[in-house]
Chains A and B, each alone.
Chain A
């Protein structure tokens, strides 16, 4: 039995409605309990800001695509090098660091749970291996279904049950957590060198449209009673004028779940552009947030960009090709048979570029114009918009109008004309930030019941204690201190153990991987369906029996069972 007592913590715990109360937190064997014995180890939080462990609900840190980003950028491996030290492995890389680099830096920032934004089912093994090597965060995998042949066939047949059965079987097979759709239909079209330009344009050979894929998958997701909703990267990412696609997509979404959203729209900044060319691109954040503010069934995340050099990586192959044509830099493109694709290119976001400045402003506008912080979560689509180590700066910008104004003064002159950021007075408070960086994520991902995102009795003791005194620090004026404070926790506690102290990792991690297992009625199971099996054997280059990821790849797997089809 191990016990720990955190004393004098200034707790903000939005899920329980606690806002800045000074309290003690008792921990026994990794969970939060009512009280502990006097033999418990003690930490004095000294009235510092104490939050549930940070949760990133959309990041790219593991898997083949991320790893290819590493292959492609040996120059990045010269950045961010740290030596082996105590318990810490050697690390390198800045925008695509080694797995340990990711894990340590997230931990230093108080993050204890990460959702990998896009795992190709066929490449799941590698993703799980890298999860194991990201030891200080619990991991969840969004599983790509955007160009899944079997799914598209079932969607064409308008068969929600069959769609659900395919998804359920696949998630179980690859130990995935949730459904991810990246440019639905578009990644299959890219297999033919094409893309889809509207959500009502059919995918060749399958004769289904993105709108049909999205609608059917949303219903299949609810039929499976998955903890998370469909996680969508909309069509037409990064194209001027794409906000109309985004709005049309949002209009497809019914409100089907009382506990959480029905659709999670990711990195919406990249989907909120007006205009028709790169010359007249402008912000449509107002239109997007007007829609979001009227649709409690949708949660989005920012997809904030920050000015730096980074790497874009997504399953959205055609989009990456377009970017490559703009930049003429190195480019990688992958096809994942029968499932999806991906593309990777390096980018540098520059203050000299009007387009980049507008993108930067749009991300902030989205967050500031969304009334409820539970509906717009903070992330950068790491590393697409910026490496996650930039989160503290994003927090600073959201909390301080002065910081935003000072930044805006250094930007391209067009920023003010084509966005309305300068007119937004809102300054987020500590509670808003706690929602946008952990509580909102826990709710959106459906992991509150797993003891994540809050500090109630029975919750997993994932806690971040920041060297921030909210009673004396004015974030609007002293935003630099806010940024600094969020860069390095005083303590990061993971399952009741202090893993990081003042940015230094002090123990070996032992993370868990959450995956979902939906119970599917015998008569609907695809592994009992001779037609599914026949097509699998015919089209895949792997046998169906070799496809599932063996348990050995998840040394600390945590299965979330769902009562589906009820």
Chain B
């Protein structure tokens, strides 16, 4: 079953929409869902043109497609556990919060907090992602626990903060402090990064671009050839400032 939600033109398009109801499972019983526009309760049909194609008996066969201006829609896919969501444009903050299964694909850019505290499933972002991509929310000691977030563009600052499990792959560059407070999991940055992995406790981070302002509290222990890419990388242990046991691999400078 395919549910297509095409956003209607709104009088005040900058007012955010809180749409944690938009997960595939909820469409099993129809499209009669409630979202909030600012502090006003709205039915889905007030904000979207809704087209349903086919039927489904179980939620894993449901695909939700979001079209139109979706850049201010927040919390799409929150607690999603199965099925798939395709977003043809940009998406607002907190997309895929606490997601545990299924797939979200964003063809445009994602705002901040993409896949925060994710537990499983897959998020593909074809554009850029904002700050705090794949992290824990304020004060949370364990961020993403499982699943995969793949960003084909760049991300903002604090990418994969408090990463504790699962995989984060950024094809572009990250901003300041990627992998800060990492506890576990795998972070790969193909582009550049600034001050990576501060206060890292565990997990693995691989950076194939340039590292700006490498922290002095990482101890170089080895030089290896990465098996998949055949790139030579320095291996650091850290963050030794707080007896961290994470491993940070950075591509060696020099001719490629």
A78 neighbours in B (Cβ, 8 Å): 137
Q: Are B242 and A73 in contact (CB under 8 A)?
A: no
User: Are B138 and A328 neighbours in the complex by a CB distance under 8 Å?
Assistant: no
Q: A74 CA to B137 CA in the complex, in Å?
A: 9
Within residues 5 to 20 of chain B, which ones have a CB less than 8 A from any CB in chain A? none
Q: CB distance B139 to A74 under 8 Å? A: yes
Residue numbers in A under 8 Å from B138 (CB-CB): 74-75
A76 touches B242 (CB 8 A): no
Judge whether B53 is part of the interface by a CB distance below 8 angstroms: no
The distance in angstroms between the C-alpha atoms of A209 and B138, with both chains bound, is 43
Nearest-neighbor residue (CB-CB) of B243 within chain A: A328
When distances are taken between beta carbons in the complex, the residues of chain A under 8 Å from B141 are 75
Query: CA of A75 to CA of B141 in the docked complex: distance in angstroms?
Result: 9
A328 contact set on B, CB distance < 8 A: 242
Could you tell me the distance in whole angstroms from the C-beta of B88 to the nearest C-beta in chain A?
Answer: 31
A310 to chain B, nearest CB (A): 14
B170 CB to nearest chain A CB (Å)? 26
The A interface, classified by DSSP as helix, strand, loop or mixed, is: helix
Specify which of B139, B140, B141, B242 lies most central, judged by the most chain A CB atoms within 10 Å of its CB.
B139
Q: Give Cα A443 to B140, complex, Å.
A: 43
Please indicate the chain A residues that have their CB under 8 angstroms from the CB of B139 in the complex. Answer: 72-77
Give complex CA distance A74, B138 in Å: 6
Size band of the interface chain B makes with A = under 10
Whether B242 lies near A75 (C-beta < 8 A) is no
B135-177 vs A, CB cutoff 8 Å, 1 = contact: the mask equals: 0011111000000000000000000000000000000000000
Looking at chain B's contact residues, the main secondary structure is loop
Q: Which chain A residues border B242 with CB–CB below 8 Å? A: 328
**Size of the chain A interface, CB-CB below 8 angstroms:** 8
A77 and B242 CA atoms in complex are apart in Å by 27
Q: Identify the closest chain A residue to B242 (Cβ).
A: A328
Min distance, Cβ A472 to any Cβ of chain B, angstroms: 44
B137: chain A residues within 8 A (beta carbon): 74-75, 78
Give the CA-CA distance A76 to B141 in the complex, in Å: 12
Determine how close the nearest CB of chain A comes to the CB of B192; give it in whole angstroms: 30
Interface residues of B in 42-93 (CB under 8 A from A): none
Report the minimum CB–CB distance from A442 to chain B (whole Å). 38
C-alpha gap A56/B138 in the complex (Å): 32
* Nearest opposing residue in chain B for A78, CB measure: B137
Q: Mark A62-99, 1 if CB is under 8 A from B, else 0.
A: 00000000001111111000000000000000000000
Interface members, chain B 113-152 (any A CB < 8 Å)? 137-141
For the complex, give the distance between the alpha carbons of A44 and B55 in Å. 57
Mark interface residues in B222-256 (1 if CB within 8 Å of A CB, else 0).
00000000000000000000100000000000000
Q: Which residues in B have their C-beta under 8 angstroms from that of A76?
A: 139
Q: What separation, in Å, do the CA atoms of A366 and B242 have in the docked complex?
A: 39
Chain B's closest residue to A72 (CB) is B139
Q: How far is the CA of A341 from the CA of B237 in the complex (A)?
A: 37
Chain B residues closer than 8 Å to A77, beta-carbon distance: 139
CA distance A218 to B140 in the complex (A): 44
Report the Cα distance A72→B140, complex, angstroms: 11
Give A513 Cβ to nearest chain B Cβ, in Å: 32
Complex Cα spacing A74 to B141, Å: 11
> Whole-angstrom distance from the CB of B248 to the nearest CB of chain A?
20
A78 to B137, CA, bound (A): 10
CB nearest neighbor in A for B140: A75
The distance in angstroms between the C-alpha atoms of A72 and B242, with both chains bound, is: 20
Question: A75 vs B139: C-alpha distance in the bound complex, in angstroms?
Answer: 5
Residue of A nearest to B136 (CB): A75
> Which of chain B's residues have a CB closer than 8 A to the CB of A74?
137-139
Give complex CA distance A476, B225 in Å: 68
A326 to B149, CA, bound (A): 35
State the CA gap A77–B139 with chains docked (Å): 10
Proximity string of chain A (40-74) to chain B, C-beta cutoff 8 Å, 1 when within and 0 when not: 00000000000000000000000000000000111
In the bound complex, CA of A75 to CA of B137 (Å) = 7
Q: In the complex, what residue of chain B is closest to A75 when comparing beta carbons?
A: B139
B 26-56 binary contact with A (CB < 8 Å = 1; else 0): 0000000000000000000000000000000
Produce 1/0 per residue, A319-338, CB < 8 A to B.
00000000010000000000
**CB of B240 to closest CB in A, whole Å:** 14
Compute how far the CA of A73 lies from the CA of B140 in the bound complex, rounded to whole angstroms.
Answer: 9
B20 to nearest A CB, angstroms?
Answer: 14
Q: How far is the CA of A175 from the CA of B140 in the complex (A)?
A: 38
B245 to A: closest C-beta gap in Å: 14
Kindly provide the distance from the CB of A348 to the nearest chain B CB, expressed in whole angstroms.
Answer: 11
Smallest CB separation, A122 vs chain B (Å):
28
Determine the distance from Cα of A337 to Cα of B17 in the docked complex, in whole angstroms: 48
A73→B139 CA distance, assembly (Å)? 6
Q: How far is the CA of A411 from the CA of B62 in the complex (A)?
A: 46
Smallest distance from the beta carbon of B183 to chain A beta carbons, Å?
A: 13
Complex CA distance for A78 and B140, rounded to whole angstroms: 10
CA A72 to CA B141, docked complex, whole Å: 12
Which A residues are CB-close (under 8 A) to B140? 75
Q: Which A-chain residue is minimally distant from B201 (CB atoms)?
A: A328
Shortest Cβ gap from A296 to chain B (Å): 46
Minimum C-beta distance from A317 to chain B (A): 22
Of A72, A76, A78, most buried by chain B (CB within 10 Å of CB) is A78
CB distance from B78 to the nearest CB of A (A): 13
A73 proximity list for chain B (CB < 8 A)? 139
Least CB distance, B143 to chain A, in whole angstroms: 12
CB of B57, distance to nearest CB on chain A (Å) = 35
Q: Give the docked Cα–Cα distance between A77 and B140 (Å).
A: 11
How far, in angstroms, from A208 to B146 measured CA to CA in the complex? 57
A78-B139 Cα distance, complex, nearest whole Å: 10
Query: Bound state CA distance, A73 and B99, in angstroms?
Result: 23
Give Cα A72 to B138, complex, Å. Answer: 10
Nearest CB of chain A from residue B244's CB, rounded to whole Å: 11
Tell me the bound Cα distance from A482 to B140 in angstroms: 35
A78, B138: Cα distance in complex, Å: 10
Question: CB-nearest residue of chain A relative to B138?
Answer: A74
List chain B residues, Cβ under 8 A from A75.
Answer: 137-141
Q: How far is the CA of A539 from the CA of B137 in the complex (A)?
A: 42
Write the nearest CB–CB distance from A529 to chain B, whole angstroms.
Answer: 47
Nearest neighbor of A73 in chain B, beta-carbon distance: B139
Chain B: CB-nearest residue to A328: B242
CB distance from B210 to the nearest CB of A (A): 32
Report the Cα distance A361→B83, complex, angstroms: 49
- A:302-329 near B, CB below 8 Å: 328
Inside 8 A of A72's CB, which chain B residues have their CB? 139
- Alpha-carbon separation in the docked complex, A75 to B136 (Å): 10
Which residues of chain A from 19 to 41 have a CB within 8 Å of any chain B CB? Answer: none
Give residues of chain A (202-254) contacting chain B, Cβ–Cβ below 8 Å: none
- Chain B nearest CB, measured from A344 CB (Å): 13
How far, in whole Å, are A78 and B242 apart by their CA atoms in the complex? Answer: 28
**Distance A73 CA – B137 CA, assembled complex (angstroms):** 11
Nearest CB in chain B: distance from A523 CB, A = 54
Closest 9 CB pairs of A and B: A75-B139, A74-B138, A74-B139, A75-B140, A73-B139, A75-B138, A78-B137, A328-B242, A75-B137
14 A-B contacts (beta carbon < 8 Å):
A72-B139, A73-B139, A74-B137, A74-B138, A74-B139, A75-B137, A75-B138, A75-B139, A75-B140, A75-B141, A76-B139, A77-B139, A78-B137, A328-B242
Extra pairs beyond A75-B140, A75-B141 (4, CB < 8 Å) = A72-B139, A76-B139, A78-B137, A328-B242
